[in-house]
Chain A
């Protein structure tokens, strides 16, 4: 356990020092939040949407986006680069169990997701346009954090699938497409019908819906949880499959 913990701390230290990673995970969601907080016409952040205000709704969208991108990028491009550089192979010939590499990437993503989503919430609270009870703050934070697990798994999966050269643009494109089609940038209800149907199948929509419903003081819909769990199961199985394939590839 000491070895796994040491490796996790090592990874977190590297993440914090990586300017590109910090910009993406912490900077972008906050930037988007501040940019689009006032785009909803005359009523601005106080406009009503889905049983809450735009200010609160969009804060949950961007907090979800932040948690997703943090979890995702902890695996993703970094993992692809480390496979190419020989680091994964070098770790494999130490007593660190092979699976610990994957679980460390997932854990690092989850550790990074927490400050990323909290920062958006702090900015939301500071903007003066979000008024929630203390327990609701706690609930949405927890739900968004836990709900980001499938995206950390997807990040690891993509890290195994893509080459190190293409990994940054490719993984970021995936993140932005997921966010866009899942209604994190533009509310699903203002989208054309076809886009609504697409959104409902996206992991991002089901993810953000958990937080959105909490804002309207509703319990999260079980269907969203089931769909997210399904995505997590599929991503995890694919990670295991690719991980095994990679062992053979490492030998090359």
Chain B
């Protein structure tokens, strides 16, 4: 599955293409055989990624997997040792210089913008740095900056700063947007509002690449997941495909006086968790496990079978790769 295009996705993509001279085969992002080393550490080893126009792709991976390196390469902040990178058919530096890339970077605890200026002034600057910016009114509306447009940037809340960052990323009306942990530190409601905002902007064939630690969010937002581990792409596909590849389901039911040992002996069961009356079983063959539950006449109630969450796939895929190495 690694590096494979999803056949089911292609027709939709064609529909989403904007009216332009760009052919449907154009790669917005293309990594070909990328190697990047820092001294003795190999950050990326033979990484191949291709992103088509209009896709929303999430880059996942544990810390140290090579995500930051891949992002730095994409944004022309560093150069690969081997391989070829193209952003909209040109080297990343040219794409950035042409104003075709917008990025919302992480800045840890710092606000990431200079103090002493208003939101409006920062947006004005962002617009002037790009050759074909969005209209100010549209920008303010898309990024939801209206309520605090004239406030000083060093007096905003965390959620407001994230909106300013998003505004900075889209100000130049770029074709590719990169968002690094865009919802970190936001509450659930603000996170939902953020993604709604992003969808409004990206509706018209924009390509989005983002990194996040919230896997439910990745699952809900992304068309495609690229999972990195130890400098390699270990999975690349739609969230559904990736979850399905981890042949695993969770069985949840209520039962009195559960014997963990007995449940562990059932076919397919790999893990059992008991929380009072509630029992959670992780199974690699849920059908067989359910049959065995019935055959053994266990007094379970309210049985539910749920597919693997993206988190399960993430853990399974990164763990397997570690064992191989």
Contacts and interface: CB of A to CB of B under 8 A. Distances in A.
B77 A90 contact: no
A92 B92 CA distance: 12
Interface string B40-84: 000000000000000000000000000001001001111000000
B77 A250 contact: yes
Interface string B97-131: 11101110111101111111100010011101111
A223 interface: no
Interface residues of B, number: 36
B194 interface: no
Given A3-B128, A251-B78, A95 B113 contact: no
A86 B121 contact: no
A2 B114 contact: no
B96 interface: yes
Chain A interface main SS type? helix
Interface string B272-293: 0000000000000000000000
B271 to A, nearest CB: 38
B239 interface: no
Interface in B113-151: 113-117, 121, 124-126, 128-131
A89 B72 CA distance: 10
A95 B126 CA distance: 10
B182 interface: no
Interface in A79-109: 82, 84-87, 89-97
A90 B117 contact: no
B114 A94 contact: no
A94 B105 contact: no
Nearest to B36: A251
Interface string A66-89: 000000000000100010111101
Nearest to A3: B129
Given A86-B112, A251-B72, A94 B129 contact: yes
A18 B114 CA distance: 11
Interface stretch (A6-14, A52-60, A191-199, A207-215): A6-14
A14 B131 CA distance: 24
Given A94-B126, A95-B172, A86 B110 contact: yes
A94 B130 contact: yes
A85 B114 CA distance: 8
Given A6-B125, A10-B125, A95-B129, A17 B72 contact: no
B116 A18 contact: yes
B168 interface: yes
A100 to B, nearest CB: 10
Contact of B114 (A87, A97, A251): A87
Contacts of B117: 10, 13-14, 17
A87 B96 CA distance: 16
Nearest to B107: A86
A10 B115 CA distance: 11
Nearest to A11: B114
Given A93-B103, A248-B78, 20 more contacts: A2-B128, A3-B128, A6-B124, A6-B129, A7-B128, A10-B121, A17-B117, A82-B114, A85-B111, A86-B112, A87-B114, A89-B105, A93-B75, A94-B96, A94-B126, A94-B129, A94-B130, A95-B99, A247-B77, A251-B78
27 contacts: A3-B128, A3-B129, A6-B129, A10-B117, A17-B117, A18-B116, A85-B112, A86-B107, A86-B108, A87-B107, A87-B114, A90-B107, A90-B112, A92-B75, A93-B75, A93-B76, A93-B102, A93-B103, A93-B105, A94-B96, A94-B99, A95-B129, A95-B131, A95-B172, A247-B77, A250-B77, A251-B72
Interface of B: 69, 72, 75-78, 96-99, 101-103, 105-108, 110-117, 121, 124-126, 128-131, 168, 172, 178
